[in-house]
């Protein structure tokens, strides 16, 4: 089972869980760049939501690769995800329906962290993309820092908030963002 940090979207620095009373699991990510992050969840929540089944991110590789174009500056994660949503709406909606999204409220292991983030990490390991950490803006600011993605390293960045300004939309989640998306049922007693 792969447990991905909901802050940095990586499984590389996640330590084995510490078992707490009431079947609560405490995970800790020790990412040097992003900083330590701890979260709590239950074994029941981890089993259905925290796993990335073999091949589940395969269908995301090509679409996400196309969401980061040659010549783009480093794009804040939210910009990449927004491009995925607008260019591949059915694919995006299917993954949100299965895994959830933070736009519906705090929840560990959303499509963003467990699927889209894992697929982007795979693209980086394949040499197609590069990433760096930077400030999280707008609806993503609860993360503190997020990944920024580009084809090649650059000194320029496009934040989610600046992207939203360009589009004339709010950088916060809106009812329009939630429209036509389905949230999976809540897991038992998850806490993030």
pLDDT single digits (tens) 18-75: 777 666 777 888 887 777 888 777 655 554 444 444 466 789 999 999 999 999 999 9
Rg (CA), the chain: 16
Higher pLDDT, 145 or 155: 155
Q: Is residue 147 helix, strand or coil?
A: strand
Q: What confidence tens digit (pLDDT) does each residue in 158-186 have?
A: 999 999 999 999 999 999 999 888 877 66
Q: Is residue 88's pLDDT more than 60?
A: yes
pLDDT at 23: 65
Q: Point out the least confidently predicted range of 5-14, 135-144, 156-165, 166-175.
A: 5-14
Residue 180: half-sphere exposure toward Cβ, Cα within 13 Å: 10
What are the beta bridge partners of residue 130?
150
User: Quick one: pLDDT band at residue 87, thresholds 50, 70, 90?
Assistant: very high
- Please tell me the distance from the alpha carbon of residue 5 to that of residue 11, in angstroms, as a whole number: 6
Residue 58 in contact with residue 122, Cβ under 8 Å?
no
Residue 71, C-beta contacts closer than 8 angstroms, at least 6 positions apart: 151
pLDDT at 2: 67
User: Quick one: pLDDT band at residue 102, thresholds 50, 70, 90?
Assistant: confident
- Sheet strand arrangement including 157-158: 130-135, 145-150, 74-76, 157-158
pTM of the complete model: 0.71
- Please tell me the distance from the alpha carbon of residue 6 to that of residue 109, in angstroms, as a whole number: 6
Segment 105-109 mean pLDDT: 77
Mean pLDDT of the chain: 83
**How many whole angstroms from its chain centre is CA 92?**
12
Residue 59, C-beta contacts closer than 8 angstroms, at least 6 positions apart: 91
């Amino acid at each position: 089972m792969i447990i991905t940090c909901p802050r940095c979207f990586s499984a590389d620095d996640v330590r084995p869980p510490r078992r707490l009373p009431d079947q609560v699991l405490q995970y800790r990510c020790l990412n040097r760049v992003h900083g330590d992050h701890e979260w709590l969840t239950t074994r029941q929540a981890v089993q259905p939501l925290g796993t990335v089944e073999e091949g589940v991110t395969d269908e995301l590789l090509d679409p996400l690769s196309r969401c980061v174009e040659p010549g783009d500056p480093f794009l804040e994660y939210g910009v990449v995800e927004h491009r995925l949503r607008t260019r591949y709406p059915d694919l995006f909606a299917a993954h949100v329906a299965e895994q959830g999204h933070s736009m519906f409220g705090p929840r560990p292991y959303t499509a963003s962290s467990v699927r889209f983030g894992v697929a982007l990490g795979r693209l980086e390991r394949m040499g197609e993309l590069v990433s760096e950490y930077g400030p999280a803006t707008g609806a993503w600011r609860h993360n503190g820092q997020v990944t920024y993605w580009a084809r090649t390293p650059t000194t320029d960045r496009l934040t989610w908030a600046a992207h939203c300004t360009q589009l004339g939309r709010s950088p916060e989640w809106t009812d329009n963002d939630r429209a036509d998306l389905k949230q999976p049922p809540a897991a038992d007693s998850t806490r993030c």
